[in-house]
Amino acid sequence: MNGMFFALLGAAIATVLAGIGSAKGVGGAAQTAMGVLSEDSSQFGKMLVLTLLPGTQGLYGFIVGFLILVSCGVLGGDMPTMGQGLAFFGASLAIGFGGLFSGIAQGKAAVSGIAMTAKDDKNFSKGMVSVTLVEIYALLAFIVSLLVVISIPGLKL
């Protein structure tokens, strides 16, 4: 028996969970931004930036999922052993759950940043800093998943 099932499950978890976090985060921020833009369309650029930031988690999850697919033989490479498949699965959990929760949290921070910017345009940079602070945790989860995924093909598990 090989580890293909667990590797594919890992790719799905990384992509789907991080994608859900991004979708919820971007969706909430977009709703708030549309309200602001209905009153003042000149704020479009700032609203777009704050709305897009929670979308990075989905991108990180996609990259990890793609690398798993490449590494496990679906898009090239060798079929994983059971140990490697389980390692791919484990590696996906960091960005899957990290992306899910940080995407939602970043969306909430973006909503607040949008509301603050709508009240006073000078508050945009303060909102950006707050939203970016949440991004750090998404990046940490992404880096952990990425480092593990790229090291698995060389391991004899």
> Pick from 94, 27, 108: which is nearest to 61 by CA?
94
Q: How far apart are CA 49 and CA 62, in angstroms?
A: 21
Which pLDDT tens digit goes with each residue over 94-111? 999 999 999 999 999 999
Q: What is the pTM of this model?
A: 0.91
State the amino acid at position 25 in one-letter form. Answer: G
Q: All domains of the chain, ordered by start, with CATH?
A: 4-154 (1.20.120.610)
41: which 2 tokens? Answer: 């369309």
The one-character DSSP state at 155 is: S
> Pick from 110, 115, 111, 142: which is nearest to 129 by CA?
110
> Pick from 101, 131, 97: which is nearest to 14 by CA?
97
Which pLDDT tens digit goes with each residue over 35-45? 999 999 999 99
